[in-house]
């Protein structure tokens, strides 16, 4: 029995499924999880001493790889002063300022601990500000596990095939209207029918939680236009794309001006930190200025803030990172598609910046319905073959593959060699 197997057996006795977040259990790819000992650069090392090239990057935060010296140093300095005060610290204003500098639509910012918390908070804020109850989300998008946002959600909900989540009151779920991603007609019809009751439309500007799905050219502008026309708020969930697609995120890349934005993952440098922000008059509806209550014992935690500032300042300084991770991603995704096709698999792929997914379906994949046509059994075989060869991919077809700045071109070529061998050995 390996040490990972032993630790997993122990964990399942005390932690449901042995994991603290469902996709980590690796069930959909027919495996047990590996237990990680440490990470360095582009690699993670398991408790049995095996190393893996990491295409998961802790599900997005680690755009530059593991244990980067600038984040580690910032943490060492911060921890000497204490770990939490529950009173304001200078770093919080500095990080909010850095966010505003790169995301001018976020005129005011509040720091929280997770993307889920950011999502839950923006929905309450949008409802409080507009005095309306309904929200619109797109099928297959994931915005965290708050009650209103788990309807037709991607990520683990898609991976495990959970149709509706027990515990979410139907009366609340009914207030979430869902529309297929990229479907401007359906969105227009939804506004025609419910326009005066819609508080907000929330979207991942590039979907990353049904696998990577790109917005078609008219999609995001249509959301912006329809929300403006109907007095609803446009919420851009940049928890994945923020500081990843460009330093200014998807809103800079696509030229968007959302009313509210959610950030997470990268802005915490690998520590639990997220943020939401937007138009001043909307944000001033929050307590203590306005009546919409939102709070947190550890919000703006000094360690998370120090790591976040170090991560963000590095990306603002070293902008060549974006070209490198994009190049790696392009090479990986085009090489992988070519290899899979040469071995006779029906596949298609979506790629942008450092994000990509190869789907085991003919495609094209442009929404949740087309993503769900993927053969997840084949993905599982592919994933297990890659793991065996020392490559750590997301343990689900419905997630993004991230390249990190820790990777060098030889790493990608080695990954493609391993993919070729794996695909060759797979049973159709």
Ligand X SMILES: Cc1ncc(COP(=O)(O)O)c(C=O)c1O
Strand 43-46 relative to strand 36-40: parallel, antiparallel, unpaired?
Answer: antiparallel
Stretch that binds ligand X, among 165-173, 190-198, 235-243, 283-291 (CB under 6 A): 235-243
Contact flag: residue 54 with ligand X (CB under 6 A): no
Instruction: Read off the tokens for 201.
Output: 């439309």
Three-state SS at 234: strand
Of 142 and 360, nearer to ligand X (C-beta) is 142
Do 201 and 208 contact (CB within 8 A), yes or no?
no
Please identify which of the residues 259, 265, 314, 368 carries the catalytic annotation: 265
- 375 included as an active-site residue: no
Instruction: Read off the tokens for 156.
Output: 């683990």
Strand 355-359 relative to strand 348-352: parallel, antiparallel, unpaired?
Answer: antiparallel
Spatial separation of the C-alpha atoms in residues 333 and 338, rounded to whole Å = 9
Please identify which of the residues 52, 103, 142, 379 carries the catalytic annotation: 142
Q: Least distance from C-beta 131 to ligand X, angstroms?
A: 25
Could you say which of 22, 119, 269, 277 contacts ligand X (CB under 6 A)?
A: 119
Q: How many chain residues touch ligand X (CB under 6 A)?
A: 17
Q: Least distance from C-beta 43 to ligand X, angstroms?
A: 22
Of 103 and 345, nearer to ligand X (C-beta) is 103
Could you say which of 46, 237, 259, 411 contacts ligand X (CB under 6 A)?
A: 237
Could you say which of 28, 57, 105, 114 contacts ligand X (CB under 6 A)?
A: 114
Residue 63, class by beta-carbon neighbours within 10 Å (0-12 exposed, 13-18 middle, 19+ buried)?
A: buried
Contact characters 272-311, ligand X, x per CB under 6 A:
--x-------------------------------------
- 265 included as an active-site residue: yes
Strand 274-278 relative to strand 348-352: parallel, antiparallel, unpaired?
Answer: unpaired
Q: Least distance from C-beta 272 to ligand X, angstroms?
A: 8
Strand 391-392 relative to strand 198-203: parallel, antiparallel, unpaired?
Answer: unpaired
- Outline where 155-293 has alpha helix (H): 156-159, 170-173, 184-194, 219-230, 249-254, 280-283
Do 415 and 332 contact (CB within 8 A), yes or no?
yes
For ligand X, the binding residues in 155-184 under the rule CB under 6 A are 155
Stretch that binds ligand X, among 203-211, 276-284, 289-297, 377-385 (CB under 6 A): 203-211
Could you say which of 18, 140, 208, 270 contacts ligand X (CB under 6 A)?
A: 208
C-alpha dihedral, 277 to 357 to 411 to 388, nearest 10°? 120
Could you say which of 35, 138, 142, 345 contacts ligand X (CB under 6 A)?
A: 142
Could you say which of 8, 52, 55, 59 contacts ligand X (CB under 6 A)?
A: 59
Of 345 and 368, nearer to ligand X (C-beta) is 368
Spatial separation of the C-alpha atoms in residues 246 and 31, rounded to whole Å = 34
Of 35 and 398, nearer to ligand X (C-beta) is 398
- 417 included as an active-site residue: no
Of 256 and 412, nearer to ligand X (C-beta) is 256
- 264: Cβ contacts below 8 Å, ≥ 6 apart: 114, 115, 118, 239, 242, 273, 274, 275
Of 205 and 385, nearer to ligand X (C-beta) is 205
Residues in the chain: 428
Three-state SS at 362: coil
Please identify which of the residues 46, 54, 183, 237 carries the catalytic annotation: 237
Rg, C-alpha atoms of the chain: 21
Contact flag: residue 209 with ligand X (CB under 6 A): yes
Contact flag: residue 144 with ligand X (CB under 6 A): yes
Contact flag: residue 122 with ligand X (CB under 6 A): no
Residue 237 has φ and ψ, to the nearest 5°, of -90, 100
Three-state SS at 87: coil
**Edge-to-edge strands, sheet with 274-278:** 108-112, 274-278, 260-263, 233-237, 198-203, 134-138, 176-179
Stretch that binds ligand X, among 137-145, 163-171, 222-230, 387-395 (CB under 6 A): 137-145
Binding stretches for ligand X (CB under 6 A): 59, 114-116, 119, 142-144, 155, 204, 208-209, 237, 239-240, 264, 274
Q: Which residues are catalytic?
A: 142, 237, 265
């Amino acid at each position: 029995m390996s040490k990972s197997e032993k630790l997993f057996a122990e964990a399942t006795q005390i932690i449901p499924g042995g994991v603290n977040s469902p996709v980590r259990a690796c069930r959909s790819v027919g495996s047990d999880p590996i237990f990680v000992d440490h990470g360095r650069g582009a690699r993670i090392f398991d408790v049995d001493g095996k190393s893996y090239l990491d295409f998961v990057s802790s599900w997005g935060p680690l755009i530059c790889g593991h244990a980067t010296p600038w984040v580690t140093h910032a943490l060492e300095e911060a921890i000497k002063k204490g770990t939490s005060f529950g009173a304001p610290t200078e770093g919080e204003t500095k990080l909010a300022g850095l966010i505003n500098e790169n995301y001018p639509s976020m005129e005011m910012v509040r720091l929280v601990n997770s993307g889920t918390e950011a999502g839950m908070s923006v929905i309450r804020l949008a409802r409080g500000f507009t005095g309306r109850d309904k929200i619109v989300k797109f099928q297959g998008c994931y915005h965290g596990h708050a009650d209103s946002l788990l309807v037709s959600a991607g990520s683990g909900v898609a991976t495990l095939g959970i149709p509706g989540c027990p515990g979410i009151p139907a009366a609340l779920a009914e207030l979430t209207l869902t529309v297929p991603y990229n479907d401007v007609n359906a969105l227009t019809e939804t506004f025609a029918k419910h326009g005066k009751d819609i508080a907000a439309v929330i979207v991942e500007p590039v979907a990353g939680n049904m696998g990577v799905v790109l917005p078609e050219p008219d999609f995001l502008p249509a959301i912006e236009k329809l929300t403006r026309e109907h007095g609803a708020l446009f919420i851009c969930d940049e928890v994945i794309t923020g500081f990843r697609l460009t330093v200014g995120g998807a809103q800079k890349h696509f030229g968007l001006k959302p009313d509210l934005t959610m950030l997470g993952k990268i802005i915490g440098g690998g520590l639990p930190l997220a943020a939401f922000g937007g138009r001043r008059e909307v944000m001033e509806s929050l307590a203590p200025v306005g009546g919409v209550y939102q709070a947190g014992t550890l919000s703006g935690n000094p360690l998370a803030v120090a790591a976040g500032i170090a991560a963000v300042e590095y990306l603002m300084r070293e902008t060549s990172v974006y070209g490198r991770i994009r190049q790696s991603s392009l090479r990986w995704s085009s090489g992988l598609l070519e290899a899979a096709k040469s071995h006779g698999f029906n596949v298609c792929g979506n790629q942008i910046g450092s994000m990509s997914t190869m789907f085991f379906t003919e495609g094209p994949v442009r929404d949740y319905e087309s993503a769900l046509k993927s053969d997840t059994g084949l993905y599982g075989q592919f994933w297990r073959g890659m793991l065996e060869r020392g490559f750590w991919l997301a343990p689900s077809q419905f997630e993004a593959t991230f390249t990190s700045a820790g990777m060098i071109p030889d790493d990608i070529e080695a990954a493609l060699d391993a993919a070729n061998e794996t695909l060759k050995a797979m049973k159709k």
